[in-house]
Amino acid sequence: MTRRRLTGDDGASIVEFAFVLPILALLVFGIIDFGSIFSDYHSLRSGVRDGTRDAVVLNWGTTTNCPSATGTSPTSNIICRVKAKTGLGDTVKVGVWAPGGWQIGATLRVCAQYPMNSTSGLTSPFVNGKAVTAKVEFRIEQELPSGVSFTAAQEGAVTSWPSSCTG
């Protein structure tokens, strides 16, 4: 009976692949998750910009066509408009501030947050529980109708509102 001894590199490539596969999977799924989060951030940023622009140039009055509006104030309309413009659903949390009060030339500041989620599930320990935040400021160009007042308001933030939004 002859025994053959293994010499050479037989099987080494499979062992090397077993070492590289987890790193490669994390890299590929990380790229997928980053792309998804970046797309959500872009939608959030664009929606906040468009909603804020509408708020400073339109005459809001006391009516709303927002089914989820909590009141008839301009703030409720702005929050509803920003959520609609983002296209990300009701998980978007919006805050509206006008540090100088609502008057022509003052600044309207709108911030919004959207929770990050891992699409693949592989990067969830790194992204779940965190949020992307978008902040936009525009100069107010339209007075409110007489008898309508503005009050700053915000929904409960996903994490917490940054000081750049509230200050």
pTM for the predicted model, two decimal places: 0.81
Residue 66: per-residue pLDDT: 66
How many residues comprise the chain? 167
Residue 32: per-residue pLDDT: 93
Residue 1: per-residue pLDDT: 61
Distance in angstroms (rounded) separating the CA atoms of residues 101 and 139: 11
Give the Cα-Cα-Cα angle 134, 26, 24 (nearest 5 degrees).
Answer: 135
Structure tokens at 147: 């008898």
Q: pLDDT per position in the chain (167 positions), as tens?
A: 666 665 667 678 888 889 999 999 889 999 999 999 999 999 999 999 999 998 888 866 555 566 555 555 788 888 989 999 999 988 999 999 998 888 899 999 999 999 999 888 888 888 888 999 999 999 999 888 888 888 888 888 888 899 888 87
